[in-house]
Structure 1
């Protein structure tokens, strides 16, 4: 049996995915969580073979939860589920070390196949998401994207610097560069443009 941890803040959807996965054969859902922080704790407790994480969850998103889990258990197979296959998300997910990246609209039988594949050491990236990433024309650097992402989350320039381990002046330079590339006059406008163009 492949032991799976499933985390999604949509309770009905999470329950349905769990039940359908267990109908597909050699899969046992050993634990479920409705937020990223609990997913990290349950992973340490249950030591599953595969972790399925929703991208957008309270307390800790799927990518941060992935990073925390892989710090403790580098060989863990992790699959991210998302409603929005934005190219920027795929880059971040792969950078964090996920083995799978799929749409939440995936057929349950196919999701079971993805679980089996990543458990066997393979990768699986949704073809539509992969195609969008290949056409990605984002002009922003990773650091500029990091600064804009934290802007969206409501952090001040000083707080962004602390989280990224950068000086305030360096953060302002990244934000100024991002504003120039997006043709905007504030960091909040730049962040909005980046989200609208699926760069974040």
Structure 2
């Protein structure tokens, strides 16, 4: 049996995935969680072979949860499954140790096949997303620029950002200016939007 952990903050989606996978004779859903920070504790309890993680969840996001899971339980194969098929997410998922990346609107048999293939030690990546990711290239943002933009999502002032990130206001301004330039944006808000649209945040 392939033991599967499901993590998705939408109960309806999580339940549908569990029901669909539960119909397969060789797959057993051993855990279901609704937040990223619940993934590792559930995996420790149930030792899944494959974890299917949504990207956007409360607590930790799925990409951060994937990195923790890969670091502590490397035998668990992680597939990121998301509504948001953004090329930047694919690169970040692979960097976090995921072996698969599928979009939720794929046919159900693709998801079942992805679980089996990941369990067999193969990589599973949505082909359209892979092509887009290659075409768009890697994120131009440094880790610190990404942190500053992510923190700036809610319109915080430079002083607030500096305090939250333990940086000087001048350093925050420099990172914001650089991120705005790299995204081709005119404003901080536009830079955040461009980075989000590309899956860089």
Normalised by the length of structure 1, the TM-score is: 0.87
**1:158 partnered with 2:149:** no
2-structure distance, mates of 1:173, 1:154: 17
- How far the C-alpha of 1:132 sits from its partner, in A, is 1.1
Distance verdict in 2 for CA 1:109–1:139, change over 3 Å: closer
Aligned twin of 2:58: 58
Deviations 1:122-171 (A, max 9, x none): 11110111111111167722323343223226664225534xxx666444
**1:81 partnered with 2:85:** no
- How far the C-alpha of 1:110 sits from its partner, in A, is 1.8
1-structure distance, mates of 2:64, 2:72: 13
- How far the C-alpha of 1:6 sits from its partner, in A, is 0.5
Normalised by the length of structure 2, the TM-score is: 0.86
User: Secondary structure, in 3 states, of the residue corresponding to 1:75?
Assistant: coil
1-structure distance, mates of 2:151, 2:51: 26
Superposed counterparts of 1:65-104, under 5 Å: 65-104=65-104
Contact 2:88 2:198 in 1 (8 A): no
Aligned twin of 1:117: 117
Aligned twin of 1:174: 175
- How far the C-alpha of 1:178 sits from its partner, in A, is 1.3
Contact 2:86 2:197 in 1 (8 A): no
- How far the C-alpha of 1:65 sits from its partner, in A, is 0.9
2-structure distance, mates of 1:192, 1:125: 25
Aligned twin of 2:148: 147
- How far the C-alpha of 1:175 sits from its partner, in A, is 1.5
Q: Where in structure 2 are there 5+ consecutive unaligned residues? A: none
Deviations 1:37-88 (A, max 9, x none): 1122101111111100111111121001112212211232000111111111
User: Secondary structure, in 3 states, of the residue corresponding to 2:30?
Assistant: strand
User: Secondary structure, in 3 states, of the residue corresponding to 1:58?
Assistant: coil
1-structure distance, mates of 2:84, 2:37: 21
